[in-house]
Amino acid sequence: MSPLWQLTLARFREFYREPAALFWVYGFPLILAGALGAAFAEKPVPAAAVDVQGDASDPAVEKLRAALAADPGVKVTVSDETAARYRLRTSKTDAVVVPRSEAPGHEYVFDETRSESVLARNAADRALLRAATPNAPRAPETAVREPGGRYIDFLIPGLLGMNLLGGGLFGVGFGVADLRVRKLLKRFQATPMRRTDFMLSLMLSRLVFTLIDILLLLGFSYLVFDIRVRGNVLAFGVLVAAGGFCFAGMGLLIGSRAKTLEAAAGLVNAIMLPMYVLSGVFFSSARFPDGAQPVIKALPLTALNDGLRAVMNDGAGFEALGYPLLVLSIWGVLCFVIALRIFRWR
């Protein structure tokens, strides 16, 4: 039988005979998804915490308190100036309303760098305006829940991309370094096989492990959070396969020269951790400055996450995969070619 097939089978056997590897590849992503899903589960929006500064016996303070308390979206506390400013600084309250003798009769104190504080200021302003003009017509409001609009809908595609990246870098790059440290690569060198067969076997075996991981995570997400692939399933599969090959190629490049496990782990973390932060795994990459966006968009994990979210949440098909597949193909092919040229058995 071909060397490629035998080498791939050897990787399969080595993997499933290691219980710790089975847990970290298949068990840990499910635990992580469950924990984050529970932490960011859909809940009613909490009332904005607002302090009215002053003495509760002051009529002006009581008037403000009563007007704010009439709005169910505002939670009111009366505090003196020292306590109110301390509560604002320590995030125990989100905004402070200070009574004033001149029009309009109050002043807002809030932290403009905290979104909760800005929202609380706006909620307090709305409540006081409604109290001042009770007979004014109000615009109709319609509350909706759009499919794919929850945080967990945003998170799961990011976790899929994160697993593909981690599997490729750790599973391939770290694995090759481990073979070199254990002096096994020298034995492979003595066998009648091509270097290409050895490298492709690492990539293929990792891709199979990753696809099983993706299916488990998708099944878990569907059963627990009702998350599904709303777009073209074939397009989703092509994108996952492209991401798996891309990151396996990057892992090969890392392991092609690493002589110690410490060096391999350092290179893996140096590549993986910045992409976890920049590529929109846990929050949108659009939060970074505009000047950094071209670099962020060129990262393979960013392209993969954007493509996964387009297919899973927006119902897209192959028409949305042009740029993600281009970026993943360039990174994967370049890394594999360079790794093939610089790979050393010793």
pLDDT in tens, 1-36: 577 777 777 777 776 677 666 666 667 777 877 777
Residue 147 has pLDDT above 70, yes or no: no
For the chain, percent of residues with pLDDT exceeding 70: 92
**The CATH number of 48-132 is which of 3.40.50.12500, 3.40.190.10, 3.30.2020.30, 3.40.50.2300?**
3.40.190.10
Give the residue-averaged pLDDT of 158-181: 82
Structure tokens at 188: 């492979």
> Which pLDDT score is estimated for 222?
85
In this prediction, residue 144 carries a pLDDT of: 67
DSSP string, 192-222: S--HHHHHHHHHHHHHHHHHHHHHHHHHHHH
What ranges do the domains of the chain cover? 3-40+150-342, 48-132
Closest CA to 21 of 179, 158, 213: 213
Interior/surface letters 18-41, b for 16+ CB within 10 angstroms, e for the rest:
eeebeeebeeebbeebeebbeeee
Instruction: Determine the pLDDT at residue 308.
Output: 93
184 or 322: which carries more pLDDT confidence? 322
User: pLDDT tens-digit profile of 234-253?
Assistant: 999 999 989 988 998 888 88
Residue 129's CB: how many other CB atoms inside 10 A? 12
> What residue spans of the chain are helical by DSSP H?
3-16, 19-22, 28-39, 59-69, 81-89, 115-132, 151-168, 175-181, 184-189, 195-225, 233-255, 261-278, 293-297, 300-312, 322-342
Average pLDDT, the chain: 84
What does the pLDDT read at residue 196? 77
pLDDT of residue 227: 85
